[in-house]
Every structure is written in C-alpha cells, then in structure tokens.
Amino acid sequence: MKLDALAFGAHPDDIELVVSGTLLKLTDLGYNTGVVDMVRGELGTRGTPQIRAREAQASARILGLKVRENLKLTDGQIFDTQPARLKVIRTLRKYRPGLVFTHYWDDQHPDHVHTSQIVTEACYLSGLAKIATGQERFRPQRILYFMLPRDVKPSFLVDISQYFERKMQALRCFSSQLYNPKSRGPQTYLSVPEFLPALESLHRYYGTLIQSKYAEGFYCKEAISIDDPVAFFMKRGRM
Ligand SMILES: [Zn+2]
C-alpha cells in the first residue's frame, strides 16, 4: 500500500487535534492517507493504552485512513535513538508517502519535540541506501509541521470548513481524554470544558486569515514554489 500522505503524532489524538481536517480533505480528493502514533499513551493521566487503541481505530474509520499504526515507543520517553529512527525509516519505506506531517519542534511536551526530531531525521536517512532494512530506500518530498506555537506564522493554511464537523467527530472518539462531567478522574489540559471551544477558536482564527470559516495551519522549512501565480491567486481572489 503506497500512501500519499502520512502523519506522525507522538500520542494517539495529537493528529486529530491539528491535522485531521486536512487528512479528511485529502481523502476526499482521492489520496491515500495514514497516521502513525509513536506511543500508546500508557503515561496518560486518563484512559489506558487499550482504550486509546480502540479510540484511535474508531477515529481512523471516520477519517477514512488506509493505515493507522502504533510504533509502541515508550510514552514520556520518546528519545532520538537509532532504534526509534529505524522504526520510522521502516515505516517510511513501507508506505512511501510523498508528504509527511509531524510536530513542530518547539513545544512544551518533550515527546512532541523528539517526535519532530526523529521523524525529520528519519525522512532524510530513509533515502540512504546503506541504511539496511531489507527495503528499498525512499525519501519523502516534503515535511509539513503542525501544532505551531501561537507566535509562529503558518507557511500556509488549509481551508477545512467543510470538514470541521467530521474532524470534531473523530476527535470525540477519544472520549477518555476529553471533558466528561461524570468522570471523577484527574483533569488534564484536554479534559477541562474550555478545551474544545479553545480548539475551535484556533481553527476559526486560522480561518479568518484566509476568509474561510475553519482552517488548519502548517509550517514548511523550505520555500514553496508556485507554477502559475495568476491561477493560484485568482482562484483565491478575495481581498
Ligand atoms: Zn501529544
């Protein structure tokens, strides 16, 4: 199975928070998409790895993913080691995605920082023939970073207005992590009632930057080339 786009998130639910609208859109455009979670969430304050795995598969069905895998690294201890890099390299060579999404490197959570580093390095190393995994070498065309700090301007935004409701449906599959008035478990950043409205505000804010209702923002390290600037900007001709 060759994928067009593959998103690497540290924890099951990271992808739902910030990339799933774009994945839904890509699926609708006929592309094959996949998600790889680095850990099972065994350190999560709420829920268990088994519950998170079920939630991840339920969300994958809503997102129309062709693949959702878990690399089973250790939660809270994702480090840039050779075994971790090799797991990502094997995944890249197996699915050969042209486009890779992963965490932005400046983030409070060390697992997000290290996932960004491992995936970025593995994308390069995967193109080296002498790193032997028994597979053909492969290097993705581009890495797009998500979960940007608020003061980082996205390189571009994807209008997900049509997909926002389905994105939220996918996210709500992770009910163990989200606000539940009946739960007496300890609270987290995600489980307080203010979290989902704040997430919606972020997508609304990104939407206002491109005159749409909801958008997701991505950062790309390289310059982006446009073949036909007239066609490109006229299509989005509102001022
Ligand atoms: Zn996370």
Cα 145 to ligand 1 centroid, rounded to whole Å: 14
User: pLDDT tens digit string along 141-186?
Assistant: 999 999 999 899 999 999 999 999 999 999 999 988 887 777 777 7
| Element (DSSP H or E) covering residue 171 | helix 164-172
The CATH number assigned to the domain holding 150 equals 3.40.50.10320
Taking CA atoms, 126 is separated from 1, 39, 99, in Å, by 18, 21, 14
Cα 137 to ligand 1 centroid, rounded to whole Å: 29
The predicted structure's pLDDT at residue 88: 98
The predicted structure's pLDDT at residue 50: 93
Cα 115 to ligand 1 centroid, rounded to whole Å: 10
Cα 9 to ligand 1 centroid, rounded to whole Å: 7
Cα 129 to ligand 1 centroid, rounded to whole Å: 32
Cα 112 to ligand 1 centroid, rounded to whole Å: 6
Cα 10 to ligand 1 centroid, rounded to whole Å: 5
Cα 209 to ligand 1 centroid, rounded to whole Å: 26
Cα 47 to ligand 1 centroid, rounded to whole Å: 14
Cα 103 to ligand 1 centroid, rounded to whole Å: 9
Cα 4 to ligand 1 centroid, rounded to whole Å: 23
The predicted structure's pLDDT at residue 237: 55
Cα 98 to ligand 1 centroid, rounded to whole Å: 24
Cα 230 to ligand 1 centroid, rounded to whole Å: 39
pLDDT for residue 94 is more than 90: yes
pTM: 0.94
| Mean pLDDT value across residues 127-152 | 97
The predicted structure's pLDDT at residue 236: 62
User: pLDDT tens digit string along 18-77?
Assistant: 999 999 999 999 999 999 999 998 887 778 899 999 999 999 999 999 999 999 999 999
Mean pLDDT of the chain: 94
Cα 111 to ligand 1 centroid, rounded to whole Å: 7
Domain that holds residue 181: 5-235
User: Are the CB atoms for 23 and 6 separated by under 8 Å?
Assistant: no
Cα 156 to ligand 1 centroid, rounded to whole Å: 22
Q: Among 121-125, 187-191, 197-201, 220-224, which stretch is predicted with the lowest mean pLDDT?
A: 187-191
Taking CA atoms, 184 is separated from 48, 173, 192, in Å, by 15, 19, 12
Taking CA atoms, 136 is separated from 2, 81, 119, in Å, by 13, 22, 18
As given in the structure block, the two tokens for residue 104 are 């932005």
Structural domain count, the chain: 1
Cα 147 to ligand 1 centroid, rounded to whole Å: 10
User: Are the CB atoms for 73 and 87 separated by under 8 Å?
Assistant: yes
